[in-house]
Amino acid sequence: GALESMDDDAIAGLRTLLVERVERGDAADWGQSMQTLARLGGQEARELLVRKVGEGTMSERSQAVAALASMDDPEAQGSLVGLFRATEDPIHKSEVLNALLWGPDGAPDGVLMEALDSGDPSIVAQAAAALPSSRLADGPERLRALLEADDVSVRSAALSALAQSGDPDAEELLRASLGDEAVSSQALWGLQALGTPGAREAVLEAARSGESSLRGQAIGALASDSSREATEVLIEGLRDSDPSLASSALAALSGRGTTAAAEAIADLLSHMDADADDPFGMRSQAAGALQAYGGRVLETHRDLVESVIGDLSLGAFGDDGDGHGEEFDVGAMLDLAAPLVSHRLPSSID
């Protein structure tokens, strides 16, 4: 508001003052000074920012690039395009490209095409992410081609972009990429983002895959899917032959807040041998989840939950080293904790 109320002479004076302070290196806040210069505009401010991009410290360079990108000035964008084409520093080039791609007007088509054809995987991946919002006539074809790139980061970026591209074949292409172990996780998240019935079914199928790595990635993706179908698949996952995946399924179910999930966790806990190897602490994880659920499910299995938590409590708090633990009232602890955890779960569990 203050800048808008200043007349032209005052703006020119402030611009000159800031330029001099930045040139001398005594600006109190580089970022703020450069952003203010960008708002003031003008050739003097633009030329200073361009110089700082080329000559400043890494921090000054970043701040100058951001300031140039925010200027409502076609010549400022032209300066960024020139910097993108001239710099040999890959980090600097990536920074300038990012400013161009996500600036107010987006990158010119020529820059986007140069980035896609650059051969530098990090630059190509950045450009791929911007293809869904680009004006390139052959954007969809280029995006599909990148799914076959040798570099994993490029394929991953292309899959992320594909889910947002509106391509009618996106679901099919994302499904096909589930077989590429290097990017299958990205394909799963892309399918979830797509949200079509077929895409959701593909994620559910992946959670039942014979490939443990894909199964684990799908279980992780289903943690954010609250549908009945996803809950059923996660309940199946509690019995996974891979204990790390069973633990992941338990973690995903623990935040569900449904009776079906709570009963499945209670059933799991009731069938777990206290003396069996439990590398991922699933007994304590399950008991803690039931404690948090509360209500009828906890009351039904209260003795079991108290037993598990009691074992843990004696080990953590009451054992004096001679096997004589202090008396510990687990039931009282559960009653005390109930008000503290009840707000975390829906009240429908009773």
pLDDT (average), residues 41-46: 86
For CA atoms 82, 83, 89, 91, give the dihedral sign: negative
236-258 pLDDT, tens digit each: 999 999 999 999 999 999 988 88
Q: Which residue has the tokens 């992410």?
A: 129
Question: Does residue 191 sit in helix, strand or coil?
Answer: helix
Q: What is the pLDDT of residue 53?
A: 82
Tokens linked to 134: 């680009």
Q: Using a pLDDT cut of 90, give the percent of the chain over it.
A: 48
Please report which confidence band the pLDDT of residue 54 belongs to, taking 50, 70 and 90 as the band edges: confident
Q: How many CB atoms lie within 10 A of CB 67?
A: 26
151-160 pLDDT, tens digit each: 999 999 999 9
Does 213 have pLDDT greater than 70?
yes
Q: What is the rounded end-to-end Cα distance, in angstroms, of the chain?
A: 55
Which of 267, 282, 335 has the alpha carbon at shortest distance from 306? 335
Which of 45, 111, 42 has the alpha carbon at shortest distance from 83? 111
Q: What is the pLDDT of residue 27?
A: 61
Tokens linked to 197: 């019935």
Q: What is the pLDDT of residue 3?
A: 67
Q: Answer whether 249's CB lies under 8 Å from 255's CB.
A: no
Q: Hey, which of 105-109, 317-321, 341-345 has the most confident mean pLDDT?
A: 105-109
Chain Cα centroid distance, residue 316:
35
The pLDDT mean for the chain works out to: 84
Surface-to-core class of residue 278, CB atoms within 10 Å of its CB (0-12 exposed, 13-18 middle, 19+ buried): middle
Q: Which residue has the tokens 């499904």?
A: 175
